[in-house]
Amino acid sequence: MALTAVSLGYKSPESEMSTTAEDYSTEVNGCLEKTNRATEAPQDLLWEEDLRQTVAPSDQDLLTHPQNRLQDMEDELAAKTQALEDLTRELEDIRAAFGTEEGVQQLQDFEAALKQRDGIITQLTANLQLARKEKDEVMREFLELTEQSQKLNIQFQQLQAGETLRNSSHSSTAADLLQARQQLVLHQQQLEERDAEVRGHRERGEEQRLQISQLQQRLRHIETVGTQADESLALKLQEKELLVAKQERAMSEHEHSLMRLREELTSSEQQRSVLSQQLAAKTQELDATKAEAERSRSELECTKVDLEGTKVEFERTKVEFESNRLDLERIRKELESSKVDFDGNRSEFYESLKMELENSREELASNKVEMESNRAELNVTEAALEGLRVELEKLRAEHEGRRVELESGRVELEKCKAELESSRAELESSRVELSSSRQKERMSSAEIQQLMGTVEDLQRRCHHGSLSEGEALQRAEEDVARQLERLRGELDEMYGEQIVQMKQALQAQHAAEVERLHQHHAGEMERLHGQATQSCGEANQLSARVVELQQKLQEAQVLRERARQELSQVTEEKLDLQSQVDDLLKDLRSAREKVEAAVAQNAGDRRESEAERLRNTISELEAQLAEAHEAAGELEAKHESEVTNYKIKLDMLEREKDAVLDRMAESQEAELERLRTTLLFSHEEELGRLRDELQRESQLNAENLRGEAGRPG
């Protein structure tokens, strides 16, 4: 739930950045439309003035069109620099949020919690070893007690045999009975001591039970601390991944803006080339007008000769000349009025053009400085991203180390289980031996009581019998001796057979247990091997995906470097273009002066033909401008389609990267959860089994000792 909340909480910055990018794109498109409208309106006015004014307005159109384009480019550069400043501010906020003392403190707390958990685990292992040692001591004492009980039974049998032999003699029966009673009292004292030892063992078992409960509480506390630490680690990893994704998105958006700038600069270069071609065509037309003016002068000389030769043609041409003179006077007046207007506007236009050029140069210098600062900030962000990548690699290495530690803990638990199974088998065998020895003791005690009854009967017969009874007593003693020999042989045979049977049963049980443990171990190894292969395959896939993403990131960085270099080249070319524009302005001024001189020298028909030719050139230039506008519209549409395609590709890459990171986080969390649950269940089962076995062993020992203490009495 916490992870989902964090992921939902961190979706808002991405949506905000996408909305800001869309708003920025809409604003840039609006600015472009405004600038296009602003450029189109003056161009329409210029075309109307060109229709009214012949030569000068066409030159003014050629001068204003690059100026408007430069203004548009400067506006776009200002908008893009503002967007870059916003991105740098966001990067600084992210850097400030990531480098806080709270994050460092949380990492230190997490390391302290891990160290505390390792210390508690070592303490628990030490306590388990102590419990095993105490259990071994209890088993050793139990075996010693069983050996003592067997020795006492053997002594009791020897005493009973001695009593039977002594009862054969009529002298020392009472002393033997007193000695037997004293031995019985000693046996009762020993049984009381054993009861005290059993009570001590029971108290030890209670203490061990308390220690086990304390260990369970510690294990629960450790598990809660581990889960909290894992959750905090997962949250930190997700936050860092989100920061990395956000910074990569910002870098990709910046790269797209650089690509857009590059494309716009290429379009401006194309327009510059078109303008240069138009200026070259204009200069060629001016040269052609000069040649035509020279040719017209030669034609005037020829016409003068022809006029002097032919008067009829002179009169006819005189009428035509008068009409042409009136037209020329009208055209001269129009030219003078347009010249006055043009002279008045030309000085103002040149001054404004110089001011705008100076402002554009200053703004270009400031933009260059800002680009350098942005480049430095981009280098800083790249260094920060490298640091984040290194931290992610460290966290992954720590996660792998913890997984290895968990695997080693699982192996140790398997070893502990095997030891417990072996100790359980030994306990079962000792219980079987105890039960068989108790049955033998019961049988031997019953036979001894029967023999004692026969001995007492014989003693009574001895006291009340005669010499014949003495012979019968001798026969009875011989029968008793034979019966004792037979019983000894049967007991020896029975003990030998029971020992052989016990050995065979223990060997079969041990072989079956070993086979079962081997099968269980083989199944566990196969399962772990399958899980390891599956996890290795997933890790290889994820590592390949990460390598692919890193290669794409490197390619993007290379493209960004190329964009920087191209941007610097474009700025240099722009400065060269400005110098060329200044040179062209000078050439235009000189050409205009020459044209005005040629226009002042030419007269009549030449002026009309020149005006017609200029009108034709104006119409051709208008057609070329319309074609240029159409080409610019097509380029803008193509640029917008490419921008949308790049945006879609970037979104797809970001989604793929987020999906890969989510799959990595989910697999790691699932692996940790599975290992945690297996360790928890194995610890609980092991502790419950140990507690039940200790309780059963203590109860059985107490019942057996009580039964042994109650039988002789």
Of the pLDDT bands very low, low, confident and very high (cuts 50, 70, 90), residue 34 is very low
Q: Average pLDDT for residues 121-149, to the nearest whole number?
A: 75
Lowest mean pLDDT among 226-230, 241-245, 296-300, 577-581: 296-300
What would the pLDDT profile of 276-290 be if each residue is shown by its tens digit? Answer: 677 677 667 667 766
Do you know the residue count of the chain?
713
Q: How far is CA 654 from the centre of its chain?
A: 14
Structure tokens at 244: 């990395």
What is the pLDDT at residue 327? Answer: 66
Of the pLDDT bands very low, low, confident and very high (cuts 50, 70, 90), residue 102 is low
Higher pLDDT, 701 or 392: 701
What would the pLDDT profile of 665-711 be if each residue is shown by its tens digit? Answer: 787 778 778 877 887 787 788 778 888 888 888 888 888 877 777 66
C-alpha 231/C-alpha 222 separation (Å) is: 14
What would the pLDDT profile of 605-662 be if each residue is shown by its tens digit? Answer: 666 777 677 778 777 777 777 787 787 778 778 777 877 887 787 788 778 777 877 8
Of the pLDDT bands very low, low, confident and very high (cuts 50, 70, 90), residue 19 is very low
What is the pLDDT at residue 242? Answer: 80
What is the pLDDT at residue 566? Answer: 73
Of the pLDDT bands very low, low, confident and very high (cuts 50, 70, 90), residue 451 is low
What is the pLDDT at residue 634? Answer: 82
Structure tokens at 579: 């110098």
What is the pLDDT at residue 239? Answer: 76
Question: Hey, how many other C-beta atoms are within 10 angstroms of the C-beta on 126?
Answer: 10
C-alpha 22/C-alpha 246 separation (Å) is: 16
What is the pLDDT at residue 462? Answer: 57
C-alpha 172/C-alpha 155 separation (Å) is: 19
What would the pLDDT profile of 320-364 be if each residue is shown by its tens digit? Answer: 667 666 766 776 676 666 666 656 665 665 666 667 667 766 766
Question: Hey, how many other C-beta atoms are within 10 angstroms of the C-beta on 671?
Answer: 16
Inter-CA distances, 98 with 237, 241, 280, 694, Å: 12, 12, 59, 54
What is the pLDDT at residue 13? Answer: 39
Of the pLDDT bands very low, low, confident and very high (cuts 50, 70, 90), residue 238 is confident
Terminal CA-CA length for the chain? 69
Structure tokens at 111: 């390391």
State the angle between helix axes of 467-601 and 56-98 in degrees (0 to 180), rounded to the nearest 10: 160
Range picked from 92-101, 300-309, 658-667 for highest mean pLDDT: 658-667
Q: Average pLDDT for residues 408-413, to the nearest whole number?
A: 68
What would the pLDDT profile of 164-214 be if each residue is shown by its tens digit? Answer: 666 665 445 556 666 766 776 776 677 777 777 777 777 877 777 777 777
Structure tokens at 162: 């001695």
What is the pLDDT at residue 701? Answer: 82
| Amino acid, res. 72 | D
Range picked from 52-56, 59-63, 382-386 for highest mean pLDDT: 382-386
State the angle between helix axes of 173-309 and 2-9 in degrees (0 to 180), rounded to the nearest 10: 10
Q: Average pLDDT for residues 297-314, to the nearest whole number?
A: 60
Percentage above 70 pLDDT, the chain: 47
Percentage above 90 pLDDT, the chain: 0
Inter-CA distances, 160 with 455, 460, 473, Å: 11, 19, 19
Q: Where are the beta strands (DSSP E) in 43-174?
A: none
b/e map 136-169, b = 16+ CB within 10 Å? eebeeebeebeeebeebbeebbebbeebbebbbe
What is the pLDDT at residue 129? Answer: 76
What is the pLDDT at residue 438? Answer: 65
Of the pLDDT bands very low, low, confident and very high (cuts 50, 70, 90), residue 459 is low
What is the pLDDT at residue 11? Answer: 40
What is the pLDDT at residue 599? Answer: 61
Lowest mean pLDDT among 71-80, 383-392, 556-565: 383-392
Model pTM greater than 0.85? no
Q: Tokens 């590709």 appear where?
A: 649
Tell whether the model's pLDDT for residue 94 goes beyond 70: no
Structure tokens at 620: 């051709």
Of the pLDDT bands very low, low, confident and very high (cuts 50, 70, 90), residue 42 is very low
Can you list the pairs that 92-98 forms with residues at least 24 positions away whose Cβ atoms lie under 8 Å?
Answer: 94/243, 94/246, 94/247, 95/384, 97/243, 98/240, 98/243, 98/384
Range picked from 45-59, 301-315, 646-660 for highest mean pLDDT: 646-660
Query: What is the overall mean pLDDT for the chain?
Result: 68
Domain ranges of the chain: 2-97+115-679
Structure tokens at 403: 């997984």
Inter-CA distances, 591 with 279, 287, 290, 595, 612, Å: 11, 9, 11, 6, 19
Contact 249, 17 (CB under 8 A): yes
DSSP code, position 210: H
